[in-house]
Structure 1
């Protein structure tokens, strides 16, 4: 039986350790092939850990984040590759973006790059950022657009010729690192223990709650997720808000990582507890395009 394959597409280094990391570790430990695609090198990021030494400019930042990513994916037990674009940096809404950044890249060209990787790795499932969410960074939004386009283009024999044999993934998910329902549950759990939650939004604040279709139980991999996140030493403060909720409380109160099923070419029975639900592999025989009788389910706008 062919091993199941999962591709997670992220905008920056460290995203793979903060969004769906425990799920990636779980599936890899259970025998699936897991590949993280990082769209940018994070060169225009800033040092977010106050205890970390200063980094001098984009070259040093990019090199540091590449080393951190290598350590993090080793902790998770997954593979990783780069899409090859430059970080767009942090800017206020309305500020001009650098000319060479990922968010301003040609969508067709970027889609072709990712379609080529999909055709080479041949994933059954692809995950990426959602199109709104709590962190609408320009690179996250671009990763969302590119992945949604490449999901279809990779299986289209007429699209991006010369970039490998067509391969059609079967399911596309948007991952959610956190969301109001989870934050509220953790807030109430800590308040019941005499502590407060240093996250926003608080339970009485309006916020976007994604339509969750799939909750993957992976609490036993939360410690590995935390170690992977700490590998990104320039970005993650070990005493910061991410670690303010004890892992044991997270495991008890919200023991899943959560996703929205955006597209499925196999029958989908919702809610799910497995990204591979409905997929059976007996060899690399998935058609390059959906067969006429296949069920195409569009559950969220890509």
Structure 2
């Protein structure tokens, strides 16, 4: 993690800007959604960037019904439906959203794993995949970017590629000699880069134990056991953002993704009052900072806000 004291904080008259880079529609609602809702409510300009159209996502909600006038059997049909869902989720969170335009790779399964579909995001050469995001960073001029850690959070090829392009854009957007586009936006250097920690073991254990203590059935028991058995390393969370007041908006965004999210399923198994009491924050890992900041943090814009220095 670097710290360059020469990087200026946001000017007093300049709105703060946050860019959240995700792989598929619905990822923005299951990873950091309450954070983006909170910052948007506070007047921060928030842009969710969705790398793919989610065209190969399976239907994960048994009560899902294809919207009237649409079909869900083709790549084009799924893309259109998931765009409708994404628009509703963005409205629920109060954020802007845009697409990079790549095609979902799907989650390969089997042993050995099958090759990724031709033309999918996971197969796009790194520089080609990063180029539109670099230009978008220069246009939107975010002070802070969030994305996934190098593992992708889980080994979906699109999540791993999402990490790669977001990190590349963070480092390259301020260099006018790279990704040169005739008539393109001026270089812009974001000040901080974070990784989402949406499903940390610490959170799951705390909520699991609280639910057991309240005599409730926890949705995390099998998950904790399986992750522990696989000895998945836990990355350090450096930044805890208080977001309990925005759980309702997060939940509304989740159910907007009707093809993916079961309103009676896993995401809603924890009573919200218990969640707010036990784990009222969303966590992030500060991957890089060009401004001085003291850890741990409670604000993604620590060191960026006027008056922090």
TM-score by length of 1: 0.90
C-alpha contact (below 8 Å) 2:152/2:163 kept by paired residues:
no
Of residues 18, 33, 37, the one that matches 2:30 is: 18
Is residue 2:89 matched to residue 1:72?
yes
The aligned residue for residue 3 of structure 2 is: none
> Residues 116, 95 of structure 1: CA spacing in aligned structure 2 closer, same or farther, 3 A cutoff?
same
C-alpha contact (below 8 Å) 1:4/1:281 kept by paired residues:
no
Is residue 2:208 matched to residue 1:196?
no
Q: In 2, Cα distance between the equivalents of 1:234 and 1:190?
A: 28
C-alpha contact (below 8 Å) 2:152/2:160 kept by paired residues:
no
C-alpha contact (below 8 Å) 2:238/2:286 kept by paired residues:
yes
Gaps of 5+ in 1: 283-302
Q: In 1, Cα distance between the equivalents of 2:55 and 2:18?
A: 26
TM-score by length of 2: 0.88
The aligned residue for residue 109 of structure 2 is: 92
- 1:45 deviation in Å? 1.0
Q: In 1, Cα distance between the equivalents of 2:306 and 2:115?
A: 46
Greater shift in the superposed pair: 90-99 or 155-164: 90-99
State the structure with bigger RCO (CA 8 A, min sep 6), 1 or 2.
2
Q: In 1, Cα distance between the equivalents of 2:59 and 2:76?
A: 13
1:1-302 pair list within 5 angstroms? 1-53=13-65, 55-92=72-109, 94-132=113-151, 134-162=153-181, 163-199=184-220, 200-202=223-225, 205=229, 206-280=231-305
The aligned residue for residue 291 of structure 1 is: none
C-alpha contact (below 8 Å) 1:35/1:81 kept by paired residues:
yes
The aligned residue for residue 296 of structure 1 is: none
Deviations 1:243-292 (A, max 9, x none): 1111111111000000000000001200000000000359xxxxxxxxxx
C-alpha contact (below 8 Å) 1:134/1:208 kept by paired residues:
no
Deviations 1:118-169 (A, max 9, x none): 0000000000011126422110000000000110110001001123210000
- 1:208 deviation in Å? 2.5
> Residues 236, 211 of structure 1: CA spacing in aligned structure 2 closer, same or farther, 3 A cutoff?
same
C-alpha contact (below 8 Å) 1:180/1:209 kept by paired residues:
yes
> Residues 120, 281 of structure 1: CA spacing in aligned structure 2 closer, same or farther, 3 A cutoff?
farther
Q: In 1, Cα distance between the equivalents of 2:64 and 2:51?
A: 24
C-alpha contact (below 8 Å) 1:43/1:61 kept by paired residues:
yes
Gaps of 5+ in 2: 1-12, 67-71
Q: In 1, Cα distance between the equivalents of 2:249 and 2:264?
A: 17
